[in-house]
Amino acid sequence: MAPSDPVRQRPALPSLTGLRFVAAAAVVLHHTVGWQTPVAGLGYLGVSFFFVLSGFVLTWAGSMRCGARSFWRHRFARIYPLHLVVLVLVLTLPASTPDDTGDVLQHLLLVQAWSPGAAISVNPVSWSLSAEAFFYLLFPLLLPVLDRMSTAGLVRASVLLWLIQAELAVLVLGTVPRGHFLTYDLPLFRLPEFVIGAAAALLMARGYSPLTTARRAWFTTAALGWAVLMGVQVSTTTGMPWSIAASLSLPSTVGAICWAAARDADGRSPRVLASAAAQRLGAWSFAVYLVHWPLLDLLARALGRAEVGGLDWWWTPIVLAASTALAAAAHHWIERPAGQWVRRAGRRHRTTSTAFVEPVSS
């Protein structure tokens, strides 16, 4: 086994924060313009990016150094307060059809992604938070297993998980009822993306850099996947099934994250991603993701439209700007106070524990 380098020696990765907003903006574009346009139709891949990035960042930052309880407390404070506030606000809006009480309860418990109906109800985009909650629950068990693997073992495991996910998507879609739910929304199916992100972070911590190692093989695979994906997207009216598209794009997603991280580690961060503005937008990206759907819902009602989305392109910057403004306020008034609460709780716990190490936020 090749051990990872000490966490405290790992450099900060500001470019990944900048990329968060790019991924959130892609999802906003997707939901604003519609599902069946060639470019905007692929915006949902931003969710896959978030899953991979989550596994990568949590592993790189050493989020488990303080134990499972501290990790879960930090993750709860990171996603739940804003989720709860947005959920309550959505429930106060007049709806064409009342939300099912069971669906609301599942959203409150962050288990909605395990149910086909609940996953797309209330605030539909929050299904991914349900998946993230599942990943966080398993992370303290997964990380030690991955960390004990050799470098070659991590590569083999990542490739195997990728192939299994893609093959399952092909087998299930069209043959099993609710195939889209099973291969796109279900947290268990999306777990490989999170695990591959964690494995990629461990590989980079051991010196495996996409800037120097196996570049041609990696980029060839990523380029071929995107070529097939774009070809199908442009040449058909419905595009490629989302789960298959997510699997095809996974090598390029991992490659983009590792490339940006490697540039940061080498002290050559892309200026546009590491700028102060990009860092601020990246910090707001989670809130952008959560609030944009309720905004689109309100806009659809104001325009007398029966469904969310399907708007002209010029609506996208308006929706994105409004979502970003709301997100900035939410970050200041909800997310930051929640983080401060966690740090205070950590300090209180430190007074009663003789073996507490200050956590690294992510």
- Rounded to whole angstroms, the Cα distance separating 234 from 219 reads 22
310-319: buried (b, 16+ CB within 10 Å) or exposed (e) per residue? bbeeebbeeb
Q: What is the largest CA-CA distance in the chain?
A: 63
pLDDT at 230: 65
- Rounded to whole angstroms, the Cα distance separating 260 from 240 reads 28
pLDDT at 218: 60
- Rounded to whole angstroms, the Cα distance separating 49 from 298 reads 27
- Rounded to whole angstroms, the Cα distance separating 79 from 179 reads 28
Burial of 111 (0-12, 13-18, 19+ CB in 10 A): middle
Enumerate the domain spans of the chain. 7-350
pLDDT at 357: 37
- Rounded to whole angstroms, the Cα distance separating 251 from 256 reads 9
Chain CA centroid to CA 325, Å: 21
- Rounded to whole angstroms, the Cα distance separating 169 from 149 reads 27
Q: Enter the pTM of the model.
A: 0.90
64 to each of 68, 201, 217, 264, 310, how far by Cα in Å? 6, 14, 32, 22, 42
pLDDT at 321: 98
Whether residue 7 contacts residue 360, with contact meaning beta carbons closer than 8 Å, is answered with yes
pLDDT at 134: 98
pLDDT at 126: 97
- Rounded to whole angstroms, the Cα distance separating 140 from 248 reads 28
Listed in sequence order, the residues at least 6 apart from 51 whose beta carbon sits closer than 8 Å to its beta carbon are 128, 131, 132, 135, 190, 193, 194, 197
Q: Which residue has the tokens 């892609």?
A: 26
pLDDT (tens place) for every residue of the chain, 362 residues total: 455 556 656 899 999 999 999 999 999 999 999 776 777 888 999 999 999 999 999 999 988 888 999 999 999 999 999 999 999 999 998 765 667 899 999 999 999 999 999 999 999 999 999 999 999 999 999 999 999 999 999 999 999 999 999 999 999 987 888 999 999 999 999 999 999 999 999 999 998 876 665 556 666 666 666 666 666 665 555 567 888 889 888 988 998 899 899 999 989 999 999 999 999 999 999 999 999 999 999 999 999 998 898 899 999 999 999 999 999 999 999 999 988 887 677 666 655 443 433 333 33
Whether residue 74 contacts residue 335, with contact meaning beta carbons closer than 8 Å, is answered with no
pLDDT at 34: 79
- Rounded to whole angstroms, the Cα distance separating 80 from 83 reads 5
